[in-house]
Amino acid sequence: MDPTFDAEAKEEALREESESWDTTAPVEARDGDIPTVDVGPYFESGTATDLQAAADALRHASETVGFHQLVGHGVSQAAIDAIFHQTRRFHALPLALKSTIRMDRDDWPLKGCGYLPVGERKLPRREKGNANEAFIVKADRDIESEHNQWLADDDLPGFRAGVEEFGTIITALALRILPIYAAALDLPADFFEAGFRHPFSRLRLSHYPPAEPRTGDDAYGIAPHVDTTFFTLLLQDGPGLTIYSHERDRWVSVPVVDGAFVVNSGELLRQWSNDRFLSTRHYAHNTSAHNTSARDRYSIPFFFNATSDYPMECLPTCHGPDNPAKYPTISYNQSQGVIQGE
């Protein structure tokens, strides 16, 4: 095991690798390409039997695909509709007004939050700009809602309250599925509680403007990347997310399933599990493999991590004499040179 970790070198390696990926021929998903994980029975009963059934489905998805459709999660359609409504309201505002809370401006102490305009070369960091705009809110042990950038309520009445409400809902869901991840990794159901007492998260409200079918030289909506997260929960209102299928050795367009969250594990969970769970490459456009309609697309990813300074030591069920730990114990803060995308 290498006892050191160079975040900048890791980011550069991922960036160089992503630029070698041929994404020119995505195909539509077939049945089974994106597994479904139904947590409804476990959420309703709380029994060990239903926990194990959900864990078995999650384990299969995480070890073979790296993505799944999460159903039975208990987040109401009304709550989903409400956050999409707030997302559309924000992005319909004039650019000049949104730019007053632009991300990483010199006079705002908390970086990585606020408005990210179309064409930015960050999140993920790439040579070409991403063809989307986003509003981003962060949370951590020492980061509260008021530390983020918000428009005045007179400029967008009810927006902050609506985003904060959904943030509470989605964080509760993420915490609620942690026991399923623990069981999927053959750990006690409460194993991850200590690491997620103050989870570090980013909630991103993304807008992909209408786009013509892309060519090889066009900017991506979100450039090809892998997430750095423990896991990511994503809502999408239209096609555009494309993932690499390890089983098919093809890029596959992820279908939109009404009411479902698309969930993927990221680099930190892959390393924490000693490569047991996949961290799958993906990108996004405002089109799918065979859908070239020019329309606005909105997506809402929630990037979920352990408390940013929590040391993630190789999970005890993921290493042994014949499978030594491959990565050093590391916290999110130590890995922050690697930037998240969609």
Each residue of 20-78: pLDDT tens digit? 667 777 889 999 999 999 999 999 999 999 999 999 999 999 999 999 999 999 999 99
Q: What is the overall mean pLDDT for the chain? A: 88
Question: Following DSSP, what letter does each residue of 130-141 receive, concatenated?
Answer: PS-EEEEEEEBT
Q: What number does CATH give the domain 7-335?
A: 2.60.120.330
Q: Which residue has the higher pLDDT, 195 or 5?
A: 195
Q: Tell me: pLDDT of 138 over 80.
A: yes
Say how far apart CA 110 and CA 155 lie, in whole Å.
22
Show the tokens assigned to 58: 């999650």
Show the tokens assigned to 131: 């063809």
Show the tokens assigned to 186: 């053959």
Each residue of 123-134: pLDDT tens digit? 555 566 678 999
> For position 174, what pLDDT does the model report?
98
Q: Which residues contact 74 (CB under 8 A, 6 or more apart)?
A: 40, 43, 173, 176
**Banded model confidence at residue 81, pLDDT cuts 50, 70, 90:** very high
CA distances from 288 to 24, 139, 226, 238, 294 (A): 12, 32, 19, 9, 11
> For position 2, what pLDDT does the model report?
46
Each residue of 236-279: pLDDT tens digit? 999 989 999 989 999 999 999 999 999 999 999 999 999 999 99
Q: Tell me: pLDDT of 143 over 90.
A: yes
- Across residues 102-110, what is the average pLDDT? 95
- Give the orientation angle of helix 77-91 with respect to helix 159-176, to 10 degrees: 140
CA distances from 109 to 122, 123, 141, 303 (A): 18, 19, 16, 21
Which helix or strand (DSSP H or E) is residue 53 part of? helix 48-64
Q: Tell me: pLDDT of 341 over 60.
A: no
Least confident of 13-17, 149-153, 212-216, 292-296: 212-216
- Burial of 309: CB neighbours in 10 Å, binned 0-12, 13-18, 19+: middle
Return the domain boundaries, the chain. Answer: 7-335
Neighbours of 157 (CB within 10 A): 12
**Banded model confidence at residue 288, pLDDT cuts 50, 70, 90:** very low
**Banded model confidence at residue 215, pLDDT cuts 50, 70, 90:** very low
Model confidence, pTM: 0.91
Calculate the CA dihedral of residues 104, 105, 107, 111 and round it to 10 degrees: -10
- Burial of 337: CB neighbours in 10 Å, binned 0-12, 13-18, 19+: middle
Radius of gyration (Cα) for the chain, nearest Å? 19
Each residue of 162-181: pLDDT tens digit? 999 999 999 999 999 999 99
> For position 9, what pLDDT does the model report?
58
Residue 244 backbone dihedrals phi, psi, to 5 degrees: -90, 125
Say how far apart CA 103 and CA 108 lie, in whole Å.
9
> For position 11, what pLDDT does the model report?
56
CA 326 from chain centre, in angstroms, equals 24
CA distances from 9 to 5, 49, 120, 251, 337 (A): 8, 44, 22, 26, 8
